[in-house]
Amino acid sequence: MNKFTIEESTPQHANPLLLNRRHWLKAATGVIAAVSSLRAQSEVAVSLPLQLSINENPFGPSAKAIDAMQQTMARSYRYPHAQAQQLIDAISKKENVPTDHILLGVGSGEILLAAGRYFGEKKGEVIAAVPGYTQLIDAMKSAGGSAVLVPVNDQWQHDLDAMATKISEKTSCIYLCNPNNPTATVCDTAKLTAFVIEAAKKVPVFIDEAYLECADDFAERTLVGLVTAGHDVIVSRTFSKIYGLAGLRIGYAVAKPSLLAPIKELMTGNPNLLGMVAAHASLLDHDYCERTRLQIKAGRDAVNSVLQQLGRKFTASQTNFVFFHTGIPIDRFQELMKKEQIHVARPFPPMLDWCRITIGLPDEMKLINQALRKILS
């Protein structure tokens, strides 16, 4: 575009770059509104194939979170320092901890990676469950550490007694994912609390509670209170699951400042403006969180009912996914489900004839249950 064209197409004294930015922001806000509208329609319009392999929340963000993003779009050229502090203040209130006990991350994944690197550089061992979530474990191995993997017990839960016997002078940390991914189970709270208190006297304990807000009794199960009690415990959470903000990458950890400081030094990302205002608004939308939890539970109960009718084993899930025995190799089951236009999760060694599948929207769950009856009958 030449100078003459700019002068002819903009008001006198207007900044053409500013005008273009305003046009873009107006269009972008319209796109967000359209996406919000589509989310409401998704209850009745199923899009195939179904992507039910990575534990996203199909109910999406709360209306308050979407509104907060819309209201903030025009300020997206600003660095989000103020919004970061506002989110930390809100988390502090939720978790009942001082603000210096909170570390924001680009998803909880960034915190897991940094923690894994920090503990891995000590060249020690991490004690963890198998099958289990491996992001921290893999990062620790990459940094020079090693893993002591303890099989889950006969209830597909962390075998805390067996894990306790593995603690040695070589141990750098213990990693607990509660609820566990992929088995979806939670540990008995009293037993887990006793284990963590005793273990933390020897090594730091990292508790990944990414899915705990999907559980029936979150408040009774969270161990964040052990942080304020002074134990060497790190509790991580994410806004990707119950709050439906996976694409915005916001998570956090709660721990003593002395534990968070060396992990923070290894982090390179910064949470984004829209993600933080959406996360802040989500924390204030208590009705949405509870409503979403109940919708997830309804979908979970429906799948479990079908599996029970089919005579299949399944775990006592307290997450937004179910884990069940297929009776056939998982790669074969994946192929059969793809033919029904449903994508399920990857293999989880050593349980290679079990499947993890994410809870979807109500109409999606009807298709899932139909496919399970067809394939597993």
The per-residue pLDDT for 12 is 38
Give the tens place of pLDDT for each residue, 94-110.
999 999 999 999 999 99
* Cα–Cα dist 177/210, whole Å: 8
The per-residue pLDDT for 46 is 83
Which of 6-10, 55-59, 183-187, 302-306 has the least mean pLDDT? 6-10
The per-residue pLDDT for 45 is 66
Contact 59, 320 (CB under 8 A): no
Give the tens place of pLDDT for each residue, 172-210.
999 999 999 999 999 999 999 999 999 999 999 999 999
Contact 128, 158 (CB under 8 A): no
Choose among 269, 377, 336: nearest CA to 357.
336
Both structure tokens of 288? 């949405």
**Ramachandran class of 355: left when φ > 0, alpha when ψ lies in -120 to 50, beta otherwise:** beta
Give the tens place of pLDDT for each residue, 347-376.
999 999 999 999 999 999 999 999 999 999
Q: Is residue 327 pLDDT above 50, yes or no?
A: yes
* Cα–Cα dist 240/56, whole Å: 7
* Cα–Cα dist 91/98, whole Å: 9
Q: Is residue 8 pLDDT above 90, yes or no?
A: no
Q: Where are the beta strands (DSSP E) in the chain?
A: 50-51, 102-105, 125-130, 146-151, 171-177, 205-208, 233-238, 251-254, 321-325, 342-343, 354-358
The per-residue pLDDT for 371 is 98
Arithmetic mean of pLDDT, 36-40: 45
- Helical H segments across 106-188, by residue range: 107-120, 135-142, 160-164
State which H helix or E strand residue 302 sits in: helix 286-309
Arithmetic mean of pLDDT, 278-290: 96
Q: Is residue 246 pLDDT above 70, yes or no?
A: yes
Which of 41-50, 219-228, 322-331 has the least mean pLDDT? 41-50
The per-residue pLDDT for 146 is 97
Q: Is residue 147 pLDDT above 60, yes or no?
A: yes
Gyration radius from the chain CA atoms = 23
* Cα–Cα dist 147/138, whole Å: 9
The per-residue pLDDT for 27 is 47
* Cα–Cα dist 135/240, whole Å: 16
Both structure tokens of 267? 């982090």
Phi, psi of 207 (to 5 degrees): -110, 115
Arithmetic mean of pLDDT, 136-149: 97
Arithmetic mean of pLDDT, 146-175: 98
Contact 62, 244 (CB under 8 A): yes
* Cα–Cα dist 7/84, whole Å: 40
Q: Is the dihedral of CA 368, 374, 375, 376 positive or negative?
A: positive
Contact 272, 87 (CB under 8 A): no
- Sequence-distant (≥ 6) Cβ neighbours of residue 175 within 8 angstroms: 126, 127, 128, 132, 136, 137, 206, 208
Arithmetic mean of pLDDT, 202-231: 97
pTM beyond 0.85, yes or no: yes
Choose among 356, 337, 336: nearest CA to 346.
356
Give the CA distances from residue 158 to residues 163, 171, 358, in Å, rounded to whole numbers and listed in that order. 8, 18, 21
Arithmetic mean of pLDDT, 232-237: 98
Only one residue has tokens 């897991």, namely 112
- Higher pLDDT: 6 or 341? It is 341
- The domains of the chain are located at 77-284
The per-residue pLDDT for 5 is 30
The per-residue pLDDT for 19 is 39
Per-residue DSSP letter, 237: E
Q: Is residue 23 pLDDT above 70, yes or no?
A: no
The per-residue pLDDT for 269 is 87
Which of 29-43, 76-90, 252-266, 358-372 has the least mean pLDDT? 29-43
What residues form DSSP beta bridges with 26?
A: none
Q: Which fold has domain 77-284?
A: Aspartate Aminotransferase; domain 2 (3.40.640)
